[in-house]
A and B are shown apart, each in its own frame.
Chain A
């Protein structure tokens, strides 16, 4: 149990739950995939916020967020907010799960499947806009939003690439990946050779000591 006021936590969870359920409702392609996870309970402990919450997938169209749950979760993950951010945005969640500081208890399958469903989720903004604004205006605004999000995705990818290029090529702030790997290999090779030399020295010392005692 966390030290947070349960009412404050309930408010945050109620808002998040409502937003997530609305997003799911607007992503009909995800319903079938989410339905395969029906009944799944995930526990999440965010250590940096001293917060534990549970995500229960009730059906393909509805999930429930809780701050208290007595059922054994299918998977329980513990980590910092940064760790979960990295997992949520990762292209390879399995690798991120293994390499990050996230601690996992239970089955990772449901967790990875959920992450993949969320990352593939395509929210159709047009339906609610058309309901409120009518066919013509709703469609125009939805098209504008789609263009904006596409531009945002492209801009983000481009920025990531350019920042990476600047750090590597222009600023020479970090070495290229291949150079770094070569350096790690060389260090490992030196370490192995030093270990061999050390064992040889130890052998020679042992032999010298035996000769000293026999003379």
Chain B
């Protein structure tokens, strides 16, 4: 059962959230895959339309927080269409490495094609991977980013522990995710937008209202700022903090491996 106020999952049960619906834990990954298979080809266009292009600004600030520098290894989980990976590729330079990881093959395919089109290929590796069981060596990565991906992971605590294992001591995790608006008024406007306008846009542009309804519902079921902070600390991250953006609609959490 979920704690409705915070969105933190109770792992005693065999079911989990899929938007506002309860589904078998084992079935969620496949259902999420179905959603992203459906939206992959128009994912970036929809993101631009849904956020008015603001998602690029949220990502820009996340990249600044990463303090990425030449020679580093950056793992971008749920990197999908590769927009963060392309930016990191320039920052780490030819002596560094960027790993673009996503559980969804369709999203990775779009991302890989886009990176090739941008000429960002030399230092980028594309890997299909589950965030809960990252197929990378312990202490092998300087920075991990996961942008708008954690809410789709079935077992978030397991994913956080997996990320901690892969990070080098002193390495940082950045989680960019939809969160809880700090103003009740903004929250109401945002609810109207999410449940009325968003599915309509999904129907119009991606011919898929249901997938976008799931995206809106999954945002509401995602842990709020303080709960996610607590989850990061419980997983073993140190110096955890978060920055609210656009009135708390989105937050970027940061934590370091001790």
| Residues on A facing B (Cβ under 8 Å) | 5-7, 9-11, 13-14, 66-71
Contact = CB atoms under 8 A, between A and B. Distances in A.
A69 B63 CA distance: 10
Contacts of A13: 60
Contact of B64 (A5, A11, A67): A67
B69 A10 contact: no
Contacts of B246: 5, 7
Q: Which of B56, B64, B65 has the most CB of A within 10 A?
A: B64
What does DSSP make chain B's interface, helix, strand, loop or mixed? helix
B57 A14 contact: yes
B220 to A, nearest CB: 21
A9 B252 CA distance: 15
Contacts of A14: 56-57, 60
Contacts of A68: 61, 64-65
Interface string B27-58: 00000000000000000000000000010111
Contacts of B69: 71
B245 A71 contact: no
Contact of A5 (B56, B65, B67, B247): B247
Interface size class of B (residues with CB under 8 A): 10 to 19
17 contacts: A5-B246, A6-B243, A6-B245, A7-B54, A7-B58, A7-B250, A9-B61, A10-B57, A10-B60, A11-B54, A11-B57, A14-B57, A66-B64, A68-B61, A69-B67, A70-B67, A71-B67
Contacts of B57: 7, 10-11, 14
A66 B247 CA distance: 20
Given A6-B243, A7-B246, A69 B64 contact: yes
Contacts of B54: 7, 11
Nearest to B54: A7
Nearest to A67: B64
Given A10-B60, A14-B60, A70-B67, 7 more contacts: A6-B252, A7-B54, A7-B57, A7-B61, A11-B54, A14-B56, A66-B64
Contact of B61 (A10, A70, A71): A10
A24 to B, nearest CB: 17
Nearest to B60: A10
A67 B245 CA distance: 13
Contacts of B60: 10, 13-14
Interface in B189-224: none
Interface string B240-258: 0001111100101000000
B15 to A, nearest CB: 35
A63 to B, nearest CB: 14
